Structure 1
C-alpha cells in the first residue's frame, strides 16, 4: 500500500532530496519535514569559502527556503527538534525550539536524515567562546563574526581535508594560522604522496605542528590559548575539525541495525530493517563497490543521490542506490587533491593483493604555456589488473580526471580498460597520452 503521509527528520542534502522527490513522484503524498536548525537546504561544502569571504554572502549558499518548499507542497518546519520516534504507533514527537510547544506527527513512511555531528574532544575549555566547529551555516556565521570583531590568531585542530580547507579560509581572511594534527602528516587518508604535497603546500603559508595531542583550551571568559602535548599556543579562535560521527540517537532508540562507525545499514532502496523507516545521508553506511562491504564515507553528493532514491521509492516508483566508491576532491591553497576507491594501505587492510603505480607528468602539453605538474597514483589488484583506487594531485580542473577513475571503479574496470579509453586530446588540455593512460601503461609494463 502506498504511504499517504511522509515525515522526514532532517533537511539539507538527503532529507530535502527525499522530500522533494517523493512529492514529485506522488503529488497526493502529504510530506512534512522537521529540521532543528534555521536552514533546510544549503551548500555545506561552501562553508569554508563563505568563511574566508571568497563567497561574500552566506545567503548565496542557500539552495531552498522553507517558503519555496511549501510552495511545492512540502510542509517544512524549521527549529523543530524531533526527540522521539514511536515505531509502534508510527509517529514522531518533539518540540518547537522557538515556542517550547510539543508536537506529535503521524507517518506512514519515515525518512531519517539526521546527518552527522562534529566530534569535539572532551577536553577542558571546549565550551569557551572562540572554540568553533564547522558543520552548519550558523557555524560559518559565528566564525565570520569573530573575524570581523578583530580575531587575528587562529588554531585549526585537525589536518584532514575539512581542516585544511579551513586553514586556507582563515589565511585568506588575513589571520595568522597554526594547524595542529595528532598524526604524523596532513591529509593522510589520501595516501602518502598527497600527504607529502599537502604538507608542502600548507607549511608555505601556515605553521604546522604534527604529532600534537590536544589537551585543552584556556582563557578568562573566552579563548586565549590552545594547550597541546607539543606546547601551548595563543589563539583568538580555534576551529576543531577532527571528524564527524553519525547522529544516530533516534536510530539507536528505534533499534535499527548499525554498521561501520555505528551508521545505519539499509538495503539498496534505503529501507532500514524497521518497516516503513528509511535512512539517507551521513547517518548511513553504503555499499562500497570496490570492497563489497558497507562503508561510512559521509559526503553531500551521496546524500543527495540516496535522498532521490528513497523519495522515488516512497512515492511509488522503482529505484536503487547502487553504492559508492569513495570519491572526494579538495583544494588546499594552490593545489588540488582527489581520491577515489582505496589507497594502497586501505586495499592491503582489506586483504587484497594490491600494488601501486605512481607517475608525475604535466597536466597538458609541455610545449603549451602554463603547463603544471600532475601526480597520478593508481592502486590495482595483482593478477587481475582490477583497479582498486587512485589519487591525483595537481592544479585546477586537471584533477577532475578522478571522475574517469571513479567511473571505471564503479564498473569494476581494469588497468587495460583505462589504457584503452578514447581520451580527448588538444595541447591546452592534455598530452597526446593522457596522464591516466600513461599511469595505466606504466602499471601494465
Structure 2
C-alpha cells in the first residue's frame, strides 16, 4: 500500500507516524515544498524576541530522522501542482507519483492582498522558518516596524519587536484589536499595547506602500505612515488552489471539507490541518479555526483512518490563549458578537475578581466573562483576561463546553483550592453565581 502525504509539518507528519506505527510494510512518501519538516510555527515570534535562541530549537524532528529512523520517504522541494483524483496520481514540476491513499496536509499561507507596492523589499510575512530568518536579518538595523493586523500573530510580533528595542505601529482595519474578543474586553488589550509604547491605529485600511525599491511608507485611507519595515499579519488562506479544478468539496474559504474521520468526498483522499475544516461542537457544523493543536489531532486521526483504524475527531470549541506583555488573553466557545451573528438567544455575566485568595500575597485581578443560552442555561463561551491564572480557568471552561455543561453546573465543579492557587470559590464559579 502506497501512502502519499502532501505536506511535511504538523498534520502530515502526525499522520505519517501513525501509519508507521500501525502498518509495518507501508510505503510512505511525504512531499514538502520547503526544506524543513515538523517545526513549531507558534514559536517563531519568540525567536524574533530572543526568548528562543534559534529557529533550529523549533524543529521537532528533522528530515533525516524521518528517513532513517522511521523509513519514510521524506522528500523536500517537492511542490505538488496538480492531483488526478480519477487516476490517483499527484504531480509537480519534476515528478509524478501514483497513490493508493492520499492525505492533503498542505497547511495555509499568509494573506497578502495585491496592494500597490507590495513587491517592495522590506515587506514580510511570518509563517515559516525561512520567513522568520529573513525578517530577523532585515530588522537588525531597522528602527520602526509597522505591523498590519491586530490579531494574535500581530500582537505576539509587536511584543517581541518591542522587547528588542523597536518602535512598533499596529494598523488594524477593525475598530478593536483581537477581534475574537468582545470590544470592551479588547480595550484592556489596547491599553496594554499603548502602555508599552505601541502606536495603535484602528478603523484604518491599508491601500498600498511607497518607496524606492524598499518600503518607506504605508499608505492608508487616512495617512502616509513612515516605516522601515512592514509585517503583514491579517490572516491565512488554505493552500488548496492546486485542487481548484477537482471535484473535492470545499468550505466557503477554500478549506477542504472533511468528515470526522478526515475523509473528503472522494474515495481514498483525506485532508487534515490548516487546509481542512474542523467540526465546531457548539455551532454543530464545520468551521475553520487553523491552530497547531487541531492540526496535530486531525493528522493523527487521518493516519489511523488511512490504515483502517478509524477514530472520529471529536471537534473543537474555539479555545485559544496568548501572552501579551503582562497580560494573558484567553477565550473559548463563542463571543457575544459571534452569538449575535448566528442569532443565538444568550445572556452574559462579567466579573473582576482576584485569581487567588485575596489575603494571600500576589493576588491579581481577572476579568471573567461567561456567555450562556438564555433558555437552556447551556454554557456557550468564556473570555478571561488578566495577569495570572488565566490558563487554568480557560481550560476548565473549555472542558465544560466540550461536555455541554450548563452555566449553573460550574458551581458544582470540584476545583483545586489552596490560598496560593485559588480562593474557596474559583473566579469562574463566582462569575457563574451572578446569573
Asked if TM exceeds 0.5, the reply is yes
Task: Pick one of 180, 191, 206 that aligns with 2:171.
Answer: 180
Partner of 1:91: 89
**Secondary structure of the residue that 1:189 maps to in structure 2?**
coil
Q: Is it true that 1:18 corresponds to 2:15 in the alignment? A: yes
Q: CA deviation at 1:348?
A: 2.1
Partner of 1:426: 418
| Structure 2 unpaired stretches of 5+ | none
Alpha-carbon distance between aligned partners in 2 of 1:223 and 1:55, rounded to the nearest angstrom: 28
Partner of 2:208: 216
1:339-374, CA deviations, whole angstroms, 9 ceiling, x for partnerless residues? Answer: 111001211221211111101101111111111111
Q: Is it true that 1:375 corresponds to 2:367 in the alignment? A: yes
Alpha-carbon distance between aligned partners in 2 of 1:212 and 1:313, rounded to the nearest angstrom: 46
Q: CA deviation at 1:244?
A: 0.9
Q: CA deviation at 1:396?
A: 4.0
Alpha-carbon distance between aligned partners in 2 of 1:82 and 1:90, rounded to the nearest angstrom: 13
Q: CA deviation at 1:397?
A: 4.6
In the TM superposition, 1:116-127 aligns within 5 A as 116-127=108-119
**Secondary structure of the residue that 1:255 maps to in structure 2?**
coil
| Structure 1 unpaired stretches of 5+ | 96-101
Q: Is it true that 1:360 corresponds to 2:358 in the alignment? A: no
Q: CA deviation at 1:213?
A: 0.8
Q: Is it true that 1:272 corresponds to 2:264 in the alignment? A: yes
**Secondary structure of the residue that 1:185 maps to in structure 2?**
coil
Q: CA deviation at 1:190?
A: 1.6
Task: Pick one of 95, 98, 102 that aligns with 1:110.
Answer: 102
Alpha-carbon distance between aligned partners in 1 of 2:392 and 2:224, rounded to the nearest angstrom: 40
Q: CA deviation at 1:223?
A: 1.4
Alpha-carbon distance between aligned partners in 1 of 2:309 and 2:7, rounded to the nearest angstrom: 22
Task: Pick one of 392, 407, 427 that aligns with 1:400.
Answer: 392
State the superposition RMSD in angstroms.
Answer: 1.1
Note if contact 1:25-1:311 (Cα within 8 Å) is conserved in structure 2: no
Alpha-carbon distance between aligned partners in 1 of 2:100 and 2:236, rounded to the nearest angstrom: 31
Alpha-carbon distance between aligned partners in 2 of 1:296 and 1:398, rounded to the nearest angstrom: 25
Task: Pick one of 158, 165, 184 that aligns with 2:149.
Answer: 158
Alpha-carbon distance between aligned partners in 1 of 2:229 and 2:48, rounded to the nearest angstrom: 13
Note if contact 1:260-1:285 (Cα within 8 Å) is conserved in structure 2: no
**Secondary structure of the residue that 1:110 maps to in structure 2?**
strand
Partner of 1:48: 45
Q: Is it true that 1:77 corresponds to 2:75 in the alignment? A: yes
Alpha-carbon distance between aligned partners in 2 of 1:273 and 1:188, rounded to the nearest angstrom: 33
In the TM superposition, 1:229-308 aligns within 5 A as 229-308=221-300
Alpha-carbon distance between aligned partners in 2 of 1:190 and 1:25, rounded to the nearest angstrom: 42
Task: Pick one of 195, 201, 221 that aligns with 1:204.
Answer: 195
Note if contact 1:225-1:233 (Cα within 8 Å) is conserved in structure 2: yes
Note if contact 2:366-2:388 (Cα within 8 Å) is conserved in structure 1: no
**Secondary structure of the residue that 2:218 maps to in structure 1?**
strand
* TM-score in terms of structure 1 length: 0.95
Note if contact 1:116-1:245 (Cα within 8 Å) is conserved in structure 2: yes
Partner of 1:99: none
**Secondary structure of the residue that 1:11 maps to in structure 2?**
coil
In the TM superposition, 1:301-320 aligns within 5 A as 301-320=293-312
Note if contact 1:393-1:399 (Cα within 8 Å) is conserved in structure 2: no
Note if contact 2:16-2:303 (Cα within 8 Å) is conserved in structure 1: yes
Q: Is it true that 1:189 corresponds to 2:187 in the alignment? A: no
Comparing 186-195 with 297-306, greater Cα deviation is found at 186-195
Note if contact 2:355-2:389 (Cα within 8 Å) is conserved in structure 1: no
**Secondary structure of the residue that 2:405 maps to in structure 1?**
coil
**Secondary structure of the residue that 2:219 maps to in structure 1?**
strand
Alpha-carbon distance between aligned partners in 1 of 2:12 and 2:66, rounded to the nearest angstrom: 12
Alpha-carbon distance between aligned partners in 1 of 2:317 and 2:205, rounded to the nearest angstrom: 32
* TM-score in terms of structure 2 length: 0.97
